[in-house]
Each structure stands twice: as structure tokens, then as C-alpha cells.
Amino acid sequence: MGVYLGLILWRTKCLVLCIFMTFMLGCFIALTPITSDVCDCADNQPSDLTERKTEEQTYQTEGDKAKHKLAVLVPFRDRFDELLEFAPHMHKFLKKQNINHQIFVLNQIDSYRFNRAALINVGFREVCPECDYIAMHDVDLLPLNSQLSYGYPESGPFHVASPQLHPRYNYSTFVGGILLIKRHMHDRVRRKRDMTKCFNQIQVTRHRDLETGMNTVSYKLAEVRQMSIDDAPVTVLNVKLHCDKLLTPWCECGSNNPSVQRTATASKLKKSG
Ligand code: UDP
Ligand code: MN
């Protein structure tokens, strides 16, 4: 009987312990934020970034901030679901830092291949004359660490998305993307990228282009529209880029590009001749 009672007591103890542990585990899970896909990159790379942040934070007082205005230039085509996340996030993030700002979506509506650099040039030329600094901003990069300052870069360009923090471009000469990454949304299937290099594109674009750019970008601004995504005001510029197919035939890779045909045939002839 005594043994029997002891066994019951022991089982009850185990049961209570199990219930207690399950309860504690439940509490732990409930209190842990769901951030498994979030990279608080600044925390992973404290030294470099913290140093630069400190610099950034000390040069700008609240009073200074009011004097400056930031134009956020977003090169864009067919990434609406990302924009729905980007605009409210950025607006909230910048508002928290008291950054006077406006978000511009540079929407490429022609049928040429996507041209990020040309769109940024168009944005720079077309928007916000009162803005005294810009952020070239990919739509799929979200700043996460609120310590990262988007303040006026008094001492020269500030590359927020330093190479160590970029999930794909971690070579020292990388400049792009700009921001800390909350999560990288590339999906090879859902979001195919146009990585084609047609005809002599590789040889030509490998060299630094000293001729074309801001002054030569040719386009038509088809429409400017104001919209808001949640409470984030966004200005959308519908841009039709022009393309000099003799100069940059790869703006259109397909067989419907007669100059590509000509160039390709010419280079083939040259090579074999
Ligand atoms: N982008 C776009 N539509 C495209 C390709 C690119 O809107 O079809 C824009 C978008 O802002 C994107 C940026 O260009 O974040 C850079 O392209 P992507 O993210 O594909 O390249 P990554 O530099 O990350 O390799
Ligand atoms: Mn990207």
C-alpha cells in the first residue's frame, strides 16, 4: 500500500512538474517576438556600424534636422507587394527619427529592360527641388535598427548598407542597396530577376561609364500620381525611358531589336574575320 501511495505521489509530482514546465515554455514562446526571419544586422556587426552611427548621431541636432529634407528615390517595376510593405515601414521609421522626407517611386513603364540607374537619374532630376539630400533605395531593403541615422550626411555619402551587412554583396567595393536589411525578399521563382547579358553587354558595361548618366538620360515623364499606402504618402512617377539602341542595344535583348541583330552580326563577322 505504502509503495502504491508513493508511486501515486511520485506520478502526481511528475505531472505537476510537466504542467509547470509546459506553462513556462508557453510563456517563453508567447513572449518571444516572431523574428526568425529578421536580421538585426547592426547587432551582428557591432563594431563598424556602431562607430559610424555614433558619428552620424552626434553631428545633427533636432534643430538641424528641420532644415534638411530627404528624397527617398525608389527604382521600381512590378514589385507592388514589396512596396506595400516598404512605404509604411519607411514612413514610420523616418518619422520616428524626425526626418523631413518624401518617398518617390520611379516606376518604369516602357517595355525596355529594367534600368535602375537611369530611374535614379530621372528621380534626381525630376523630384523635390527643396530636398537637399537623397537616398537611393531598393524597395526590398528595410532598415531595422532604429539607431541607424538617415540624417543629413554632413561629412559625405553614407553607405548605410555596408557590404558586411548585405546578404549577397559582401565584397568590399560594393555600393548599393543602402540600408540595413530586415529581410531579403528575393524568391527565384516568384521574383525572377533579369540577369541576361546579351551581345557585347558584358565587355561594355564592365568598364566604367564616363559618358552617359545624369545629363544624358533620355525619358518621358508620363504621369505623376499621389497615393498613400496605409498612412504613408507616396509620389509615383511613371517613367518611359528612351533607349539609344546603337549605344546600348542590350536595353532590349529579344530578336525584335534590329540593331542588336546588326551589332551581333557585325561582331561575329569581326571576330571571324
Ligand atoms: N527592381 C524593381 N523591379 C525589377 C528589378 C528591380 O523594382 O524588376 C528595383 C527594386 O527596387 C529592387 C532594386 O531594383 O530592390 C534592385 O533590384 P534587385 O533587388 O532585384 O537586385 P539586388 O541588387 O538585390 O541583387
Ligand atoms: Mn534586392
Ligand minimally distant from the alpha carbon of residue 112: 1
Ligand 1 pocket, residues with Cβ under 6 angstroms? 74-79, 114, 116, 138-140, 168, 176, 193
Mind giving me the DSSP string for 106-129? Answer: EEE-SSSPP-HHHHHHHHHHHS-T
- How far from 107 is each of 101, 110, 122, CA to CA, in Å? 19, 9, 10
- Among the residue ranges 116-120, 131-135, 187-191, 211-215, the one predicted with the least confidence is 187-191
> Can you give the pLDDT at residue 56?
37
Looking at the DSSP assignment, which residues form a beta bridge with residue 240?
A: 220
Ligand 1 atom having least distance to the Cα of 74: 11
CA angle 253, 254, 258 (to 5 degrees): 95
101-110, 138-147, 175-184: range with highest mean pLDDT: 101-110
Give the pLDDT confidence score for residue 74 in this predicted structure. 97
Q: Write the residue with the smallest CA distance to atom 3 of ligand 1.
A: 77
Question: How far does residue 218's CA lie from ligand 2's centre (Å)?
Answer: 25
- Position 40 confidence tier, pLDDT thresholds 50, 70, 90: very low
Residue 78 in contact with residue 193, Cβ under 8 Å?
A: no
Q: What is the number of the ligand closest to the CA of 184? A: 2
Better pLDDT: 235 or 2: 235
Ligand having the closest approach to the CA of 105: 1
List, for residues 186-208, the tens digit of each pLDDT value: 677 777 778 888 878 887 777 77
Strand partners of residue 101: 70
Higher local confidence (pLDDT), 157 or 44: 157
Query: What are 96-111's pLDDT values in tens digits?
Result: 999 999 999 999 999 9
Confidence of residue 162 (pLDDT cuts 50, 70, 90): low
Tell whether the model's pLDDT for residue 243 goes beyond 80.
yes
Give 191's Cβ-side CA count (13 Å radius): 12
Mutate to test the pocket of ligand 1, among 113, 140, 192 (most ligand atoms within 8 A of CB): 140
**Could you tell me the sign of the dihedral formed by the alpha carbons of 215, 219, 220, 226, in that order?**
negative
Question: What is the average pLDDT across 237-259?
Answer: 85
Buried b / exposed e across 126-152, counting CB within 10 Å, b at 16+? bbbeebebbbbbbbbbbbbbebbbbbb
Mean pLDDT within 74-79: 97
Instruction: Give the integer Cα–Cα distance in Å for 204 and 60.
Output: 42
- Amino acid 52: pLDDT: 33
The pTM assigned to this predicted structure is 0.68
Is the predicted pLDDT of residue 240 greater than 60, yes or no? yes
Q: Kindly indicate the confidence band of residue 214, based on its pLDDT and cuts at 50, 70 and 90.
A: confident
Residue 50 pLDDT? 30
Give ion ligand 2 contacts, CB < 5 A: 140
pLDDT of residue 220: 98
Position 89 confidence tier, pLDDT thresholds 50, 70, 90: very high
Taking the centre of ligand 2 as the mean of its atom positions, its distance from the CA of residue 70, in whole angstroms, is 22
Query: Among 71-80, 149-158, 263-272, whose mean pLDDT is lowest?
Result: 263-272
- What distance in angstroms lies between residue 248's CA and the mean position of ligand 1's atoms? 20
